Amino acid sequence: MELSLEEFNVPCENASTPVPMLYQSGYLTIDYYNKEDDVYVLHFPNYEVCQGMVYSFLALRHHHPQGMDGEEEKGSVKKRFIRNME
């Protein structure tokens, strides 16, 4: 995922997505910096973290088929997170 510094290095309470929390807690790390486009590429630090996230989302999907906030709108927390992870 490519992001500007301002998109992931912000206080969690000011974040509009879960990406800053995942970055600050170590679930996402910087893979490299694209100086030409001024963006950082984030990734999961290892296979186990990636696998754990996938399993968590599968369990979430199973228990909350309409999303975490009960919406099927584009604005649901889960859908926003998944879009940001792409």
pLDDT 10s per residue in the chain (86 long)? 889 998 888 888 888 888 999 999 999 999 999 999 999 999 999 999 988 888 887 777 666 555 545 545 445 655 666 665 55
Of 59, 36, 58, 55, nearest in space to 44 by CA: 55
Extract the tokens encoding 41: 């590429």
8 Å CB contact between 8 and 42? yes
CA distance readout (Å), 22 to 9, 15, 38, 42, 66? 10, 11, 21, 10, 23
Q: Is the pTM of this model over 0.85?
A: no
Quote the pLDDT of residue 81. Answer: 62
